[in-house]
Homo-oligomer: A and B are copies of this chain.
């Protein structure tokens, strides 16, 4: 491929809105271009990387007996109505209507379509187990697309689905996929760790994410410093301190707290630690109920946990009418006497707290949960850096990560809703037991950039590099150089080596800067000076030193090196 006519030009500077180092390099190296917020074109260099990523995923899926197929991007609303997700996932779905007023979704996931096919194609247990997958574009009406391909509004996913007769079969399929994912990320050069995660809107119980730890990510991961506990912040728990004694605490009594309507103000005026206060957050629950979440003053609500507990898609704060109805007073709300569904976070001990009195400018002291108010116990707080591991008690570290893959045990979540059953060996009809397994291709591509780069550009792992060798001719205007370079490129390409040939009439500075930016593993320089000495220079992108090889036989020795690199990967 000649660089002079390669579609997509490198940029000296990244656009100002490029948010992460990988996002900047992705744009500068002409990997992809945005056409609208969250919509991207993969330019030829980026497509070559994406295709290699896909092929690695495909090989590992095929190796575990997963069958490739291809479902459409548009799916009829009816299938999404059967699962209830037409409404429950509305916030992130691109929906449309055809000229006959039929509704469709730009598929965000394909469980609905797979389950529909399964109920038609699989009649008997004899046809089980089955795993299928496809690579397909997904749409997500993301309010805040960010950081290029890390969170786009349209993206290619490999999504696989396992269909089994029972949970033992699902467990086997889940393990096979988990192992395949480990191999895939190894081959992609991504240091991904498997962490426990929340299954969220996808349904099901058990789920894991594969996270690559990088500051570019917007997931928060808790990692134990001693044992192997790792969990997404949306799912993570912590070991709680033993509860303090509650005996001998007097009944609650009012204290005047004029104008101190925040935890910070109370801490200042009462000279208490935040953990000695109770924070009560009023929210709208399902079907209009008012929900009061009670936490220690030093803890924050974890939105994902709370959404899951309340079974709602979006958290919304209570409005004036809700305050009135529940008897809460804004700034001074507390659980005692409140007319609401009360959720007491597991961080709240059975000890005396200061809490709002539901009366203006007033708090209560000596409020003891369980004694002075009742409520359901639930873990709805954010676990944070330094908290105790729920398994071993050692300190948890909080890290940022990019979720490059996820696997879900769906169980019968979809098959029961969609009436997807098979004839079991015992003659009864049973619902399929299913799992689903996703990898975002574009996100993987950019995560590789985020984690494999230096100040000059991308350093592609060999297995996914857009080309294997970058031949730079200096200068192209010199006939001997041009002819030697053309001949070298022709021989390498004839031998099956993937070559990008910088045939532009640019300075050495521009060409070397672009080579470092684009990050092809091997750079070969054909220069006037080198040819005079009978040598050609070659240099690995991830090494500082260049080497020189004799011009005679250079193509063969470079080709041999490339073949060794292919085998080593």
Contact surface of A with B, Cβ cutoff 8 Å = 1, 4-9, 30, 33, 35-37, 39-44, 46-48, 50-51, 67-76, 78-79, 91, 94-96, 98-100, 102, 104, 106, 113, 116-117, 120-123, 126-130, 132, 134, 137, 139, 141, 143, 153-154, 504-505
Contact = CB atoms under 8 A, between A and B. Distances in A.
Contacts of A154: 72-74
20 contacts: A9-B123, A9-B127, A33-B117, A35-B71, A35-B75, A36-B75, A36-B76, A36-B78, A37-B102, A39-B74, A42-B69, A42-B70, A43-B117, A48-B68, A50-B70, A72-B137, A74-B153, A99-B143, A100-B143, A126-B504
Contacts of A141: 98-99
A33 B120 contact: yes
A26 to B, nearest CB: 14
What 3 pairs between A and B have smallest CB-CB spacing?
A: A36-B76, A96-B96, A42-B70
A387 B30 CA distance: 55
A276 to B, nearest CB: 42
A104 B6 contact: no
Contacts of A7: 67, 69, 117, 121-122, 130, 132
Nearest to A163: B7
Nearest to A116: B35
Contacts of A51: 68
A47 B75 CA distance: 18
Given A33-B120, A141-B99, A132 B74 contact: no
A98 B9 CA distance: 31
A41 B67 contact: no
Given A42-B71, A43-B69, A44-B132, 11 more contacts: A5-B130, A7-B67, A9-B122, A9-B127, A35-B113, A37-B102, A40-B72, A44-B69, A46-B69, A74-B94, A137-B137
A344 B139 CA distance: 50
Contacts of A102: 36-37
Contacts of A127: 4-5, 9
A335 to B, nearest CB: 35
A420 to B, nearest CB: 14
Nearest to A96: B96
A117 B39 CA distance: 13
Given A41-B72, A41-B113, A73-B154, A36 B104 contact: yes
A55 to B, nearest CB: 12
Nearest to A67: B44
A477 to B, nearest CB: 13
Contacts of A120: 33
Contacts of A73: 73, 106, 137, 139, 154
A39 B112 CA distance: 14
A100 B35 CA distance: 17
A50, A69, A104, A129: residue with the most chain B Cβ atoms closer than 10 Å:
A69
